Amino acid sequence: MMRMKHRLLSLLLGATLVLTGCVHRIHVVPPVSETTTAPLPFNAQLELPFLAIEGADHMPGIPLLEWPVKQLRQTTVDYFTQRQTFTAIGTEPADMRLVIKAWLTLRAPDRYLYRVHLESDLSFSGQAPLKAYAAEGEALGSSVRWVTASDQEPIGEATAQALRSLAVQIEQDRDLVIKNNPQKEPGVASR
């Protein structure tokens, strides 16, 4: 009886280690290399309704990849705040809405290729989208995914590239955005 309990306990502990040890939990903080020279004089509300992950946990022998949308949302807010693309950005209602849908794909020809694809709409609150954007970043990883860092570093690099590309596109449309402002003064959220 004692031997059976010992085996059952060993089996349970082994299964727990295998199941939890094979999950790579991603936390990305892309570096900001520059501050914009063309900030938009508006507060923005960020909505990031989903992050789709394709390929990371569908290949034989590959650990599960976990990257919560909440973490990417915070990374995106931090990125745009540091870059100063908008006067302020957060998740609360504001002058503008920036809706971003995100995809992470992982492919393994020889080395793992990580691709972050962002599709977004920029609009004034309560208005139809003013402009749609698409941005991508990609980075090569290692040939083996043994530890979380083997996923996290290239995902961070690809995310930084995609966010920079998106920010540059938005900033290039500064005049268009200002021209289409339905309010007289930026900085006050429409009600």
pLDDT of 56 reads 55
Query: Both tokens of residue 13?
Result: 């502990």
Give the model confidence (pLDDT) of 105-115 as tens digits. Answer: 988 777 788 99
Q: Are 151 and 26 in contact (CB under 8 A)?
A: yes
Beta bridge partners of 101: 50, 119
Q: Name the average pLDDT for the chain.
A: 82
Query: Both tokens of residue 85?
Result: 């693309």
pLDDT of 15 reads 45
Give the model confidence (pLDDT) of 100-154 as tens digits. Answer: 999 999 887 777 889 999 999 999 999 999 999 999 999 988 776 555 556 788 9
Distance separating alpha carbons of residues 51 and 73, to the nearest angstrom? 9
Q: Where are the domains of the chain?
A: 25-179
CATH for the stretch 25-179: 3.30.160.150
For the chain (191 residues), the mean pLDDT of every run of 10, in chain order, is 59 46 64 85 96 68 74 95 96 97 87 92 97 96 63 89 97 96 62 38
pLDDT of 42 reads 97
Distance separating alpha carbons of residues 157 and 49, to the nearest angstrom? 22
